Amino acid sequence: MPGLTFTATGKQAGGEARTGLLETPHGIVPTPVFMPVGTQGTVKALTPAMLQEAGAGLILGNTYHLYLRPGRELVKRFGGLHRFMNWNGSILTDSGGFQVFSLGALRKITPDGVLFQSHIDGSKHFISPEVAIGIQEDLGADIIMAFDECTPYPATYDQARISLDMTVGWAKRCRTARTRPDQALFGIVQGGTHLDLRREALEQITEIGFDGYALGGLSVGEPKETMMEIVHEMAPRLPVHHPRYVMGVGTPEDIVRCVDCGIDMFDCVMPTRCARNGLLFTKEEKVVIKNARYRDDPSPIDDTCDCYTCRNFSRAYLRHLFISREILAMILNTIHNVRFYLRLMEDIRISIQKGEFDRFKKGFLKAAAEGDSAEDNAP
């Protein structure tokens, strides 16, 4: 079976928001889709069964972390990441470029690749575009990413140019290095905050030819307005017959705005990380569960939510678990936040199919702004 097919199924009249079906060897995934992040072969605090119940069909694994621990050879010996973690849905692995970028002084970037020290034990490693593809082929994900250099923010024009040229060169090498036709390979558009470099990058990356296209180098410290300007300008230019992915984004509000620009795929650690820190999402407000006002609150996090947590537990109980530092707090909070994100994607898809996305977007963003204000003023 070919690695991926993408079929557009609907589009908002007069806009860019669209729905589609992404078919991989492990299933059909409706888009727009949010991918819960399973950095080390697990979405933190959730079992695969919990993920399935929440509605996840596509999750993300991290090449850098899995390469260091438990190691590509072990995962391959166990039959790939799907069997190793007992996940029957689809998997996308990032290339490790962002994690290498985050190492700072522990890494040295050269045209050949990146020499870096492990954040775990200080051991030295080298990842080139060819090595990054080889690792991802051993991991066996359905979708793999080209190795790129994540342009830092801020970056001068000359710095962004050098970074872009390196990313394009690495993309060509990744395209040549791939050997598995059952895996889809996505190219990544870099260029920093310079729109002319972004356009140039898109032209060069599409000329190489990939199964899907991503906007990288966003949510790395740039102002939100700058990020959205880049997405607004670049998303509609990404090839229309291929899936469009914006990496590492983001908040529910960011996702809605990016869907409006034509983006199909998202990932972010926000729902799971916020859950572990006691921040829970609803359409009306963000619930900081440790707040005293929830001490004897009998209501669920969100009385419109169908997740296991909201069907069975009160805010008072969840607050008790969280301030008592019980492990169950992380599990129940994560179940809710992941389901919230996946329900958001379901609602987005329905609104596009009905031709009502513009109204949905305005209502969602208005409620989110009012909810943030209410929580900020809460005791």
Q: Is the dihedral of CA 83, 87, 93, 98 positive or negative?
A: negative
Q: Does residue 353 sit in the same domain as residue 211? A: no
Bridge partners of 91, per DSSP, are 59
Share of the chain above pLDDT 90, in %: 91
- The mean pLDDT of 110-116, rounded to a whole number, is 93
Q: What is the pLDDT of residues 286-334, one digit of tens each?
A: 999 999 999 999 999 999 999 999 999 999 999 999 999 999 999 999 9
Kindly indicate the confidence band of residue 103, based on its pLDDT and cuts at 50, 70 and 90: confident
Residue at a domain's end among 212, 234, 268: 268
List, for residues 40-89, the tens digit of each pLDDT value: 999 999 999 999 999 999 999 999 999 999 999 999 999 999 999 999 99
Q: Tell me, what CATH number does 153's domain have?
A: 3.20.20.105
In a domain, 375, yes or no: no
Is it the case that residue 375 has pLDDT exceeding 60? no
Quickly state the pLDDT bin for 198 (edges 50, 70, 90).
very high
Backbone angles phi, psi at 339, to 5 degrees: -65, -35
Residues 226 and 208 reside in one and the same domain: yes
Please identify, among 206, 235, 268, the residue that sits at the C-terminal boundary of a domain: 268
Quick check: is 151 in a domain?
Answer: yes
What is the pLDDT at residue 377?
A: 57
Beta-carbon count within 10 A of 292 CB? 10
Kindly state whether residues 207 and 321 are assigned to the same domain.
no
| pLDDT > 70: percent of the chain | 97
DSSP type of residue 32? S
SS3 state of residue 33: strand
Q: Are residue 141 and residue 190 in the same domain, yes or no?
A: yes
- Residue 140, pLDDT > 70, answer yes
Residue 287 lies in a domain: yes
Average pLDDT, the chain: 95
248 with 126, same domain: the answer is yes
Residues 131 and 46 in one domain: yes
Find the distance separating the first CA and the last CA of the chain, reported in whole Å: 56
Top-confidence residue, 64 or 106: 64
| pLDDT for residue 266 is more than 70 | yes
User: What integer pLDDT is reported at residue 214 of this predicted model?
Assistant: 98
Q: Which residues are catalytic?
A: 94, 267
More confident residue, 107 or 302: 302
The whole domain housing 319 covers 275-365
Give yes or no: residues 107 and 192 share one domain.
Answer: yes
Residue 100's pLDDT is: 76
In the predicted model, is pLDDT for residue 1 greater than 60? no
pLDDT value at residue 376: 58
Domain endpoint, select from 200, 235, 268: 268
Phi, psi for residue 100 in degrees, rounded to 5: -65, -40
